[in-house]
Structure 1
């Protein structure tokens, strides 16, 4: 029988280090806090997007759960872009190409639970960002 301590990992609040500017795969100004470094293929982090900022197009090998903590933003995929607000959750299945970010005039704070590696692509154009909402 396995020991209980061998099965659990406790991640203490406030142990993630400093916030860092999200660069390279973002348009506009965004900040991120790593809450749990990748462990067993899962990573957890908070991302704060200033108005109009957003990720580039990307997909995740095992999918991604976004928990909208505060503000308002958009999550887009090939067929549609939806508005999300505090309290909403969005599941993106494995391999689905998508992006997410703040609305035009509000910030967005979300917690991202990412499964597996992320495949980053090109920036979301102004037309793609502005369409569908």
Structure 2
């Protein structure tokens, strides 16, 4: 059974179109809606929506940071060498400069967050199915 299907229609902000520009950095289907399109602002702000089981690759933000504001569904956030954190609406995650991490939906739920991102991302290897399949909500 898939949980939180209402997230696919946008809970607070629109889910946006398929995230084709970054598809090679995701396992599964994601959607991206830019929220701030002002060239004078050098921080990206977007609503990212993940289908169940979708997650992005491990990545690092250089010369910047990333703040995730969870708005819908259930998901995961994990930093390298640390246990994964189960995320629900209202959770806030701050990823500091240079920290290897990934985030995405749980196996059975849609998931959305606002990503506030500064700096340059370095995209790394996918989160393996073996790593991902071991995650369980406590």
TM-score bracket, normalised by the shorter chain, equals: 0.7 to 0.9
Q: Structure 1 pair 26/39, CA: closer, same or farther in 2 (3 Å)?
A: farther
RMSD over equivalenced CA pairs, Å: 2.0
Of 29-38 and 86-95, the range deviating more from structure 2:
29-38
Question: Moved runs in structure 1, 4+ residues, more than 6 A?
Answer: none
Larger Rg: 1
User: Following superposition of structure 1 onto structure 2, how do residues 12-23 of structure 1 map, counting pairs within 5 Å?
Assistant: 19-22=17-20, 23=23
* Equivalent residue number for residue 131 of structure 1: 134
TM-score (norm 1): 0.81
| TM-superposition CA deviations, 1:64-102 (whole Å, max 9, x none) | 000000000000111221100001110011110000000
Of 51-60 and 121-130, the range deviating more from structure 2:
121-130
Structure 2 portions without partners, runs of 5+: 1-12
| TM-superposition CA deviations, 1:12-65 (whole Å, max 9, x none) | xx9x9x623341100001111111247553111111100000000101121100
TM-score (norm 2): 0.78
Kindly indicate whether residue 56 of structure 2 is the aligned counterpart of residue 58 of structure 1. no
8 Å CA contact 2:27, 2:126 repeated in 1? yes
8 Å CA contact 1:19, 1:33 repeated in 2? yes
Q: Structure 1 pair 81/39, CA: closer, same or farther in 2 (3 Å)?
A: farther
Structure 1 portions without partners, runs of 5+: 1-13
